[in-house]
Each structure stands twice: as structure tokens, then as C-alpha cells.
Chains A and B, each alone.
Chain A
């Protein structure tokens, strides 16, 4: 077990190192120079002024030196300064991470809360009217783009309540916060819940045809015990994988939802930073996301062992 963990940590380190190189190089291969972009708001580019700014930002240094400075900064938790706002990158990124984390957590919570039980119900009630309704519901979840769903929600709110649930000021209480994030997280979580529901359903149907389920039935076990104790426990493994992947990819859905609901989270901020070629912000944020993805994958692998006693991590 210990050597497995050491191997995984080593692999995580190598993955992150590779990621840092890819991020750094890709960002510089994207057409569009940061200084040119800074000049866009002035409507012209002055070559002399451009050279001065490049020097000021350290962009005149060879690329390996720029990379070294960045990595050295990362190791000492110095993320540098945002090229755009001229503020420390940590001050720009730090307050946004909890916002996105809350939104992502709530979205994931919604998707599991609805996806898992509805998937079980759909499987248990296979080919009934309820099953058909739930399948249509899940299909709509997969088909509706989240930005469109988010806009529909906003338009409905304005039309029917005369108010709009967007972020204009930081919520003061936990209740305000919950109210603010409820609709955006539902908009993001809808797609993930549909996916979880469909996968739970198919996985449950497969498991319910197994011999041990029939044995449990013949022994007189209750429906709930069969469905939730015997079937779901085994059916949930592939679902766990999907939840892990969805958690990592949630950031994609959040970009749009944060934009539409005007939530100042890290996802929307990342897109803006990419458009502005704000290297210190983009590099640091993508590295942060890479760390999250690697850690989630690691935790998902560990969760397999907890959920399925047959799985053992050996040397």
C-alpha cells in the first residue's frame, strides 16, 4: 500500500511538471502578444512603448528564464503580478477560489442528490411510465446547453418575479449565499445529474440481472435491501468514476454559468485572463486546476477500494 502511494505521488509530481511545461509553452504559442493586447484599449501600438513594457514585465528574457522564474515563484508561493490589474496574482485568484469551490460543490451535490436516486428508481421501475418520464428528463439534461438553461432561468425570474438572481454584491449570510448559488448550481448540476442518472440506471439494470440478486430475492430480502444494499453498492462503482470525472470537468460548465449569473468565480476569471494573455494568472490558475484534477483522480482511485472490498492496492 505504501509503495503504491509513493508511486502515485511520484506520478502526480511528474504529471504536474509536464503540465507546467505544456501550459507555459502553449500560452506563448497562442497568437497575440500581451503587450499588443494591453495597447488595444489605446487603439494603437507604439513599438518603443511596447518594448519598454515588455522589459518591465520580464517578457524580453529568454523563455527558459521566464519558466524558471515562474516555477521558482510557485515553489515559494509567489505567483507574481497580474499583467492587467498590476495586483499580486494571489490577491486576484485567492478570493475567487472559494466562490467557485462552493458553486462546484453545490452543483455536484445536486447532481448526486438527484442523479443517483432517480437512476435507481428508473432501473427498478424499468419500462413503466415513471421510467419513461425520468429518461426524457435525463435526455433533456444532456441536450440542454447550460448557458441556454441559465439564460432561461434568468428570463423566467425577471418575467415572473421581477427580480434577477445575479451576483452584484458579496452575500452577507449563509442563507443569502445559498439562495445566490442555488439556481446557478442547479443549472450546472442538471447535466451532470442526467449523466449520473443514466449511468446508475444502466449499471443497476446490469447488476439486477446477476445471480446474487436473485439469491437475495429468494431469501426474502426486502425490495429496499435488494435495491440499495445489494444492487446499488455494486452498481455504484462506474458511477463513482463518472462523478470523479464530472467533478474535474465541472469547471467547463461553470465558465458559462458564472458568466451568465455574473458570479466572480475562478472559472469566468480564467477565460478573461486567457483572452487578455495575463500569463501569471493563467499559468497559476491552470496549475491549480491541474492539481485539483490529479488529486480528484487519486481520491477516486482510493474510493474504489473503500467501495469494493475486492479491490486491493498491492505493491
Chain B
């Protein structure tokens, strides 16, 4: 009896405290107000499926809903943080070769048309190139190579049929890059006047001026969004926008815009600002064109990997805050990256730089290079500081192995076209990834035939390993295999990672309910829970 009474009392206390916390926080939430952001440049379009840049996905993510999404209150995206969105629930079938989503009823697009399973089918048929309407650009085709078809089972159920088992498929659907488009709106209109089911409606975009969004009063999630809207002033000059934030013109900085040195200056001038340090899952990496001699020789690529002094990159450019990693971002920021004890066994990651370079010089000498026969190359990079600065350091490191490199700065808007054409010898690039999962990373950047595989790295045995890990359930075995793959990729100089970048996200203290996500720049911008406690 005493035990029962104690249990009942304990239950009552816990319930009361939980209820108390919940109701206090609910009461504390305030509706209204327009949140002001600055934006670093005009978004190329409003069509998330056609772009691979935070310039689009960050402001526009709130126009849409996904089937599932990453919990906006959790900083690390993982399979465990996936929550329902337009799908109420989902069920795997056929040994994880198909996944069926049960969809919400009563959801409407911003133009009043109802959302049904047909819209889901249309969206993924658009990406697969199966529909009559075509996307102008289709950057995430490689994500859905394993997707055979999408079928509607009535109006409120949809099944994704996969060619083979892929347990991590949900991760791709949870990304900010996977919104559901309306069937009845053509792709061209989605670029200029996007329509979704999300918490905010698109109002207007004026080049070099602003992007504005207003509250969707008919949003299916009751009581959301809390803001009346969000507006983005486009400011190209970084000094101006940071000064604008300091002066209180803006409530939040643009995603990933505050670098470490700028943060140090900003916080002195605006000590009240809340700045969250976060990994961006954007890495600085070396790209070597494997089609251009002498770089078709694996030995020379390995020597280049060995000469990189990552600690000096970190000290000079990252003020010691960059994250040392392979392709995948390590915990606590990410999920799949090699832990330090594994990382230091990878060629080039040994902290003994002198020993690494001695080995690299030996390799170069075996190819006939030396102090009297130096290799002359050009290091191409995008003409912006975050690319140029590490490229200059890289040139210095290459000198140590008898490579005299000259910096070849490429006008920023021509950069991807140049590397995609393989019109370079050696380059320095930055790579961001939409989802912190090996499926996204490996298939997008290292798989044979991928449009974003700039180095042309293509190995059958690696493709088999990509496939193998993709078919595995999450767990220690997949993790172990991912480490193994990542190690091989680094040692093959497929796209050696120099460092994983760290930035700050700053906002004013009255901005509440916002959590910066640490392993992706692209998934945490739904804004439906944010409020301004002014």
C-alpha cells in the first residue's frame, strides 16, 4: 500500500512538474513580430529542388514542408532526430526496400489547393526526370539513384520503392533540400513565386534588396508559426551587414556568415549578442584532377596528401577551432566521422609533419622530381577569401615537396563550371553536404559519374563499399565500414579534407526557441517555433 501511495505521489509530482514546465514555456511563447535577417546575396531562385546553396534553402525552407524532417530543437541531425512532418507516420517493408508514408489530411497549399499523395509523387518524379515538367537544374539526382518509383495508394498514402535496401533513405527525405512541391504549379513559377504548405508564405523577392515572407494563417500545425513573418535584407558588403547586426538592425545573422575572426570583433562591440559556435559540415579540401598528367599517378597525389600540415591551417585560418576530420564530420558535431584515434592512423593526419613530408619527398624523388627538377602547377580556386586564404597556405606546403604552384583565382560565378569541366590541375574547394549521412556524402562527391565528383575519382571497389554500407542498418558495423571507406578516400587523395570549418550563428537575446544545427547548414530553418521576446 505504501509503495502504491509512494508511486502515485511520485507520478503526481513528476506530472505536475512536467506540466508546469510545459505550460510555463507555452505561456512564455509570444506571437507576433517580424523577424529581420540579413542575407549575403540575392538567392538564385526560390526553388529549393533546383539549388544547392544555403542562399536559397535558408530563407525558403519555411515555405515548405517535407514528409519528414529533422527535429528543429536538436542540434545534431541523425536518424534518431527524424520527426513527422507531412507524413504522420511511416513503415518500412520488403526488407527496407520500400517505405510507406501515411499523410496528413486537411493540409492546404498557400493557394488553397489541397495537399495529397499526388503532390508527393509529382515532386519525386520531377527529381527522377519522369514527369513532363522538368527542373532546369537537378542537383540532387545522385541522392535518389536508388529510388525506383513513388506510388500513391489513394489520396493519403504514398510508397517509395527502392531498387535495393537503403535504411538511410529517410535521412535524405528529412533534409531541408527535400520539400514537397505542389503538382499544379509549374517549375518556372516555383523559381519565382514558390508555393508550399509551410508556415510562411512567400511575399516578394527584389534582387539586391529583400526577400519577404508572411505568416501562413491556415497552417496545419495549430498555434504555429509564432512570427508574423520574416524578412531578409540583401547586403553584399560583409562589413555593412555585420555592422548592421551590431547596431541592432537585424535579429539574426545569415547562416554560416560569422567567421571566427569576425565573431571575436563582433562580440566586443555587441556583448549582448548570443553567438552559437557550430560546425557547418562544409569542408575545405584539396581537389586534384586525376585525368591530367602527372596527377593521374597515385604516388604524386599521395605525396600531396602527406605534405599538408593541417595544424598550421587550423592555427592560421581557424584560430585553432577548426575540426580535423575526413570526409565525414566526427562527434560531437556530427555522427559518422572518424574518432581521433582512427584519424591519426590515416596517411597525412599523423601530427609529425616532418616525417610525413620526408615520406612525401621520397615519393616525389622516385618520380624524378627534386630540388633541381621542380614541378610547376597552378592551384585554381574561387576568388573569395575563404577559398583564397587556404589556397595560399596550400601553395606554401606544396613547395616542400618540389612543387612550385601559382595561384589561379577564378571569378566566383565561374568556379563550379570550371571544376565540373575538369579544367584545372590542382584546386582548392569548399564542399558542403545537405545531410550528415554517408549515403549523401559518398554518392554525391565520390561516386563514379556523380555530377559533383569534381576530381573524377572512380573506383569499382569503392563503389561496392559505398553500396555495402548503404544497405546496412545504422550500428557499429556500418560505422566501422564508413571509417574504413573514409580512410581510403583520404589516402587515395580522392578529395583530401584539410579541415572542417567552424562558424558562429549570432542572434539578439530576445530571439527564442532557435537552435543552431551543427552538422548541416541546410536543415534547421523552418522557423515555425521561433518567437521574439521583446
Chain B interface residues toward A at CB < 8 A: 36, 42, 44-45, 50-53, 55-56, 134, 136-139, 188, 191-192, 205-210, 233-237, 239-240, 243-244, 246-249, 269, 411-417, 420-421, 451-452
Contact = CB atoms under 8 A, between A and B. Distances in A.
A43 B139 contact: yes
Sort A-B residue pairs by CB-CB distance and give the 4 closest, nearest first: A36-B417, A44-B451, A41-B44, A164-B247
Contacts of A168: 36, 210, 233, 244, 249
Interface stretch (A150-158, A243-251, A288-296, A307-315): A150-158
Q: Which of A31, A166, A277 has the most CB of B within 10 A?
A: A166
Interface stretch (A19-27, A66-74, A80-88): A80-88
B208 A260 contact: no
B194 to A, nearest CB: 13
A157 B451 CA distance: 47
A248 B53 CA distance: 38
A40 B452 contact: no
A42 to B, nearest CB: 4
A242 interface: no
Q: Which of A43, A86, A164 has the most CB of B within 10 A?
A: A43
Contact of A40 (B45, B50, B416): B416
Contacts of A164: 240, 243-244, 246-247, 249
A41 B52 contact: yes
Contacts of A31: 411, 414
B425 to A, nearest CB: 18
A150 B231 CA distance: 25
A33 B417 contact: yes
Nearest to A276: B413
B51 A40 contact: no
A92 to B, nearest CB: 6
Contacts of A62: none
Interface residues of A, number: 45
A39 interface: yes
A44 B139 contact: yes
B137 A46 contact: yes
Contacts of B52: 41-43
Given A40-B415, A44-B416, A49-B137, A166 B249 contact: yes
A164 B240 CA distance: 9
B208 A275 contact: no
Contacts of B414: 31-32, 36-37, 40
A40 B415 CA distance: 7
Contacts of A268: 208, 236
Interface of A: 31-33, 36-46, 49, 52-53, 82, 84-87, 92, 151, 154-155, 157-159, 162-164, 166, 168, 259-262, 264, 268-269, 272, 275-277
B432 to A, nearest CB: 9
Q: Which of A44, A157, A162 has the most CB of B within 10 A?
A: A44
A284 B455 CA distance: 39
Contacts of A157: 247
Nearest to A275: B413
B435 to A, nearest CB: 15
Contacts of B188: 86
Contacts of B239: 151, 154, 260
B417 A85 contact: no
Given A42-B52, A43-B53, A86-B192, 10 more contacts: A40-B412, A41-B51, A42-B51, A154-B239, A162-B248, A166-B240, A166-B244, A259-B240, A275-B412, A277-B413
Nearest to A268: B208
A164 B191 CA distance: 33
Contacts of A269: 207-208
A92 B50 CA distance: 23
